[in-house]
Amino acid sequence: MNILFFLTPKATCSYLEEDDTLRQALERMEQCGYSALPILRKDGTYCGTLTEGDLLWALKKLCVMDIKQTENHNIMEIAHRRDNSAVSVTTNIEDLVTKATDQNFVPVIDDRQAFIGIVTRKAILQYCLKNFFVHTRQEAAV
């Protein structure tokens, strides 16, 4: 099986760009409802992950008490607790699942290192539930 089966393409992903401000990051996270977003460089390559926790600690460290002040700070200025590791589009399923055990989503890059989308842990689990556990329940019922 190819990992592209699980891919949420870049065109339908929420992501940040490296020159976004803290305010833009806060608003994008609020709008999409995700607790972490990939960060892309201007050339389309993946360069990290920003989490709600990263934003919270940055607001505390920067003593930002007014939303207007968040426009003066770039997301690359703040510490990222952990950047989700990316995988190549040619990565095998076992390696993808291994990464997904530690990350909510796995960024996927092509041969030119360009970000092409993400694979969510949810997509993998839904596939497993549908294809493995449903059969087990049906067999037990017989």
Residue 141's pLDDT band (boundaries 50, 70, 90)?
Answer: low
Q: What is the pLDDT of residues 105-129, one digit of tens each?
A: 999 999 999 999 999 999 999 988 8
Instruction: Decide if 1 contacts 93 (C-beta within 8 A).
Output: yes
Strand residue runs (E) in 44-133: 46-51, 87-88, 105-109, 115-120
CB atoms under 10 Å from CB of 133, counted, come to 11
Question: Which residue in 91, 121, 110 sits closest to 1, CA to CA?
Answer: 91
The pTM of the full predicted model, rounded to 2 decimals, is 0.87
